Amino acid sequence: MKVKLLLICLLFFAETQAQQAKFLVSNGKKLPLQEFVVNGDYEARLPFILFLHGAGERGSDNLAQTKVGLPVLMQTLKAAGLEHYVLWAPQCPSDQRWTDVDWKAIEHTMKKNPTWPMQVLMNGIDSLVLNTRMIDTTRMYIVGLSMGGYGTWEYIARQPYRFAGAMPVCGGGDIAQAKNNSQTGVWAFHGKADNVVPYANSVRMVNATKKVNTNVHLISYPDVKHDSWNKAFAEKKIVRDFISTRKK
């Protein structure tokens, strides 16, 4: 089935990056999106990074999703040597979630169908891959914090062929679906003192994924609570390894 995607663009320019406020529209649903094209005047195809925000950044202002975690990540990407890339930061509506789960539960079962924001996003990325030659499809990456960490685990379960690397921070997933992920490298982060999303959620997903994938890592922070993303996104060596991974 051909995916139809409508992009409504408002452009803002900086010295080394173009930041575009857009909307992804699919099947009558609209999802706000910020797109960053960093040093896009490059002869080769560009790596692509998808950034999924947490619950606190939901809304419709198409701005809040860029304020938490993402600035640190983009600084570290630069420090790690990634000079040219495209980054998408979509915004989930206030009454929706990237994935339909109880965040405090130790385990959950992935629903048959994704939530509509996740479906619109997946349709948009499918369309991007099909319709542009700008993206290096061997270097596509997904990053998510908290609610976005859950979304990251679910996305690579639903489309294990899409991303070379995944970085879920203080999230969780359905361990029964971990068997699908034999291709995507995973760097999962979680604070052991997390009082919002149980640390055990990342432990269980990493252990289950390791049964089918050797490129899976859990980085634990003993005294960190839920806000582990800034510490995680500042890990230059790990971020460098993450962006160096290529899809087979």
SS (H, E, C) the chain: CCCCCEECCEEEECCCEEEEEEEEEECCEEEEEEEEEECCCCCCCEEEEEEECCHHHCCCCCCHHHCCCHHHHHHHHHHCCCCCEEEEEECCCCCCCCCCCCCCCCCCCCCCCCCHHHHHHHHHHHHHHHHCCCEEEEEEEEEEECHHHHHHHHHHHHCCCCCCEEEEECCCCCHHHHHHCCCCEEEEEEECCCCCCCHHHHHHHHHHHCCCCCCEEEEEECCCCCCCHHHHHCCHHHHHHHHHCCCC
pLDDT at 19: 85
How high is the pLDDT of residue 235?
Answer: 98
The dotted CATH code for 7-244 is 3.40.50.1820
- The tens-digit pLDDT sequence of the chain (248 residues) is 444 444 433 333 333 567 888 999 998 999 999 999 998 777 789 999 999 999 999 999 999 999 999 999 999 999 999 999 999 999 999 999 999 998 889 888 999 999 999 999 999 999 999 998 899 999 999 999 999 999 999 999 999 999 999 999 999 999 999 999 999 999 999 999 999 999 999 999 999 999 999 999 999 999 999 999 999 999 999 999 999 999 97
Listed by start position, the domains of the chain span 7-244
Q: Is 211 exposed, middle or buried (0-12, 13-18, 19+ CB in 10 A)?
A: exposed
Q: Is residue 32 a contact partner of residue 121, using CB atoms and an 8 Å limit?
A: no
Give pLDDT, residue 16.
56
Task: Residue 103: count other Cβ atoms within 10 Å of its Cβ.
Answer: 21
Q: What is the pLDDT of residue 17?
A: 67
Structure tokens at 165: 């690397």
**Residue 170, pLDDT score:** 97
* Stated pTM of the model: 0.92
